[in-house]
A = this chain, B = another copy of it.
Amino acid sequence: MEVETQYTQFDSLNLDCGVTLNPVDCAYQTYGQLNTNKTNAILVTHAFSGDAQAAGIDKDTGQKGWWDNMIGPGRAFDTDKYFVICSNVLGGCKGSTGPASLDPATHRPYGMGFPVITMADMVRLQKKLIESLGIKKLLAVAGGSMGGMQALQWAVQYPDAVAAAIPIATTARHSAQQIAFNEVGRQAVMADPDWNGGEYYIGRPPARGLAVARMVGHITYMSDESMRQKFGRRTRENDDIFEVESYLRYRGSQFVDRFDANSYLYITKAMDLFDLTHNGDMTLTAALESATTRFLVISFTSDWLYPSYQSQEIVNALRRRNHDVAYCELESNYGHDAFLVEVKEQSELVRGFLAKTFKGMNR
């Protein structure tokens, strides 16, 4: 399936911080066909470093979509039945407005002049996109990691506009440890003199700092066990370098070519700020009170970055008010990466859940 990114622009977007972006760009892709009732649309939301290409093969780069194993004809998100949409998040660097975009006021990249954004802001832009496609109510919003945060945010922000939410390997709010890992990444970026206060768009980007940040990320995405299986203590280059070192260096250096350092700062911050309980102002149960969507919550046994107890907190909060929620903790050695690679059981869960939701919505 050959795919192509589409671009749309909206006049303005009001942000939580009080700033209004105008205009604002949104890059997206769609797969499958919207039915005449417009009741088969699914929004798939990407994780931190993802983009609008969730599925298919990019016709220019030949790259596969980040959830291609889950989206397509006959797959979990079956494009023979559903119309699947994925957009690059606000603050990103893959076609939607972000810190690398030109500030219309100055005709220069926003850089650190970009306003602080939140998960609610990202979702607000997605809502505009959905409306522009003529869709009043999504069949589902589904995503893993930061994508799961967006799914949760949709359920509380637009309960009437989404029938089902599938938050996977995620949390209702970052723990101190999750904030800490993000902060280390940010400090690594900002410690690089090439970062230059975010003003590097006419110079060279903070490649070394961003690479270090990405290395930290990769460790947290894998499990102790999956690293042992993949690398163990094997060495290369005349025994001088452990394979795991070589892998991390490669993945770190590679990341620089495809990601903007300021987007790294803004998006990780949005993740850290995300908190359905508004920093404890309300219980999670109260926060999810208004959600009328059905939920399918999935976590993975070896995911220590977004451990299962965080998914269970969400499930418990929903059950306390008799929300319609299914939960499954899937067995996996892949750590946080599991939501991208453990396709089999995840597909079955998603497939059944979507079919039932679709039936209910089209009764």
Contacts and interface: CB of A to CB of B under 8 A. Distances in A.
A164 interface: no
A130 interface: no
A280 B233 contact: yes
A177 B224 contact: yes
A209 interface: yes
Contact of A181 (B174, B188, B219, B249): B219
Given A180-B248, A224-B304, 10 more contacts: A176-B224, A176-B232, A176-B244, A177-B219, A179-B244, A179-B245, A180-B215, A183-B248, A191-B191, A216-B216
A352 to B, nearest CB: 32
Contacts of A208: 191
B230 A176 contact: yes
Interface of A: 173-177, 179-181, 183-184, 187-188, 191-193, 208-209, 211-212, 215-216, 218-219, 222, 224, 227-228, 230-233, 235, 242-245, 248-249, 252, 272, 275, 279-280, 304, 307
Q: Across chains A and B, which 8 residue pairs bring their CB atoms closest together, nearest first?
A: A191-B208, A176-B227, A176-B231, A176-B244, A183-B245, A177-B224, A184-B215, A177-B227
B228 A176 contact: yes
A221 to B, nearest CB: 11
Contact of A180 (B179, B188, B212, B219): B219
A235 B272 CA distance: 12
Nearest to A218: B180
Contacts of A173: 233
A211 B187 CA distance: 9
A187 B249 contact: yes
A249 to B, nearest CB: 7
A187 B212 contact: yes
17 contacts: A173-B233, A177-B222, A177-B228, A179-B244, A179-B245, A180-B218, A180-B219, A180-B244, A183-B242, A183-B248, A184-B212, A187-B215, A187-B248, A188-B212, A216-B216, A233-B279, A242-B272
Nearest to A227: B176
Contacts of A272: 242
Nearest to A173: B233
Given A209-B191, A227-B175, A183 B244 contact: yes
Contacts of A224: 175-177, 304, 307
**Of A233, A243, A307, most B-chain CB atoms within 10 Å:** A233
Contacts of A191: 188, 191-192, 208-209, 211-212
A181 B212 CA distance: 11
Nearest to A181: B219
A77 to B, nearest CB: 32
A116 to B, nearest CB: 10
Contacts of A192: 191
A222 B177 CA distance: 9
